[in-house]
Amino acid sequence: MPIPDSLIKQAMSVACAEARGWLGATYPNPPVGAVALDEKGAILAKAAHRRAGEAHAEAALIELCRSKGILGDVAALCVTLEPCNHQGRTPPCVKTIIEARIRHVVIGTRDPNPHVFGGGRNALRESGVEVTYGVEEDQCRQLIYAFATQVETGKPWVTVKRAFDEKGNMIPSPGQKTFTSPDSLRLAHRLRKRADAILTGSGTILADKPSFTVRHVADYKDRKRLLAIFDRRERVSPYYLEGAREQGLEPVFYTNLQDSMADLAFRGVCEVLVEAGPLLAQSVLDSGLWNMAVNIHKGQPDRIDVQFNPRATLPFDPDKWQWEYMLPNES
């Protein structure tokens, strides 16, 4: 008797949630989650890809089931992204699945990587594995928003985050660094948590000396990020840069937006978070080199509006967008 579709969908949502626990930690790889089901559709185990170089979600799940002695009970493996069929830092997941004798693989969405596209599904089917495709695809596509943008366009996903006071100003009063609520600060730091690079200007650094670390939510252990600085007049001090490096940031300098995005993409960056003053933030918006704008408006409570660039190619349907599909966990 086949596993009911309702349980398959529930399992895929669990796999997505598992992947979101590592959203922003896996660059340049996509976040991926996987769940093992028994013949009745009960969840036996779940796993996720945690960082580049470590086991992919499918391999981690199979090894977990093997260690628990339940691999033979797995009737279906649900995975948010098409399994890879090529050798990278880790062996092909398709081979691992076939060798584990998994009979049924449920895939959330295709892998946009041209080295994988369709090959994982086809290889599984050719080996006699039943493949179900496109389950909970909307949330699976949103989960890989940055990775899909990078491999499909050659550019990183760019999120512009701005905060405004009651009068529409972005600059806090003297002696203050922020004017938003604790909830808004946690949201801002979750955006920072998922980013591979933070883009700012020398004016912001000179005015606020921001640390650009993740503090209001738990960060990933030993997470490193690039700090992209626009500093045409070389005003940022060596002391600030030394402190940034001690906090796990690697400063890189730019004078041109187009060049900065091209270089960040070359470095393998999937997502850039723009945290800058009004002029630089507006320059990014005017350039069209952005995908998502998050505007936080101070109030009781704060109001948050989100916009997507109508000129950008998005890897998902913006009409079906939901916050929780694109935010990492707070802890």
Reported residue count of the chain is: 331
Asked whether 206 and 233 are in contact (CB, 8 A), the reply is: no
Tokens, residue 33: 């989650």
The secondary structure of the chain, three-state, reads CCCCHHHHHHHHHHHHHHHHCCCCCCCCCCCCEEEEECCCCCEEEEEECCCCCCCCHHHHHHHHHHHHCCHHHCCEEEEEECCCCCCCCCCCHHHHHHHCCCCEEEEEECCCCCCCCCHHHHHHHHCCCEEEECCCHHHHHHHCHHHHHHHHHCCCEEEEEEEECCCCCCCCCCCCCCCCCHHHHHHHHHHHHHCCEEEEEHHHHHHHCCCCCCCCCCCCCCCCEEEEEECCCCCCCHHHHHHHHHCCEEEEEECCHHHHHHHHHHCCCCEEEECCCHHHHHHHHHHCCCCEEEEEECCCCCEEEEEECCCCCCCCCHHHCCHHHHCCCCC
Query: What tens digit of pLDDT does each residue of 216-248 get?
Result: 999 999 999 999 999 999 999 999 999 999 999
Asked whether 306 and 173 are in contact (CB, 8 A), the reply is: no
Asked whether 12 and 135 are in contact (CB, 8 A), the reply is: yes
**Taking the C-alpha atoms of 213, 214, 219 and 220 in order, what is their torsion angle to the nearest 10 degrees?**
-40
**Taking the C-alpha atoms of 14, 150, 314 and 145 in order, what is their torsion angle to the nearest 10 degrees?**
20
The CATH 3.40.140.10 domain(s) of the chain lie at 5-144
For residue 117, the model assigns a pLDDT of 59
| Closest C-alpha to 78, from 14, 29, 127, 156 | 14
Q: Measured between alpha carbons, how far is residue 191 from residues 31, 36, 112, 251, 326 in Å?
A: 15, 30, 23, 19, 9
Reported pTM: 0.93
What is the C-alpha end-to-end distance of the chain, expressed in Å?
A: 39
Catalytic residue (one of 18, 54, 58, 246): 58
Asked whether 219 and 213 are in contact (CB, 8 A), the reply is: yes
For residue 223, which phi and psi values (nearest 5 degrees)?
Answer: -70, 130
Contacts of 290 (CB under 8 A, 6+ apart): 158, 159, 160, 274, 284, 309, 312
Asked whether 198 and 226 are in contact (CB, 8 A), the reply is: yes
**Which residues of the chain fall below pLDDT 50?**
none
Beta bridge partners of 303: 297
For residue 170, the model assigns a pLDDT of 83
What is the amino acid identity at position 21? Answer: G
Superfamily of domain 154-312: Dihydrofolate Reductase, subunit A (3.40.430.10)
The yes-or-no answer on residue 330 being catalytic is no
CATH topology of domain 5-144: Cytidine Deaminase; domain 2 (3.40.140)
For residue 90, the model assigns a pLDDT of 66
Asked whether 205 and 229 are in contact (CB, 8 A), the reply is: yes
Beta bridge partners of 225: 249
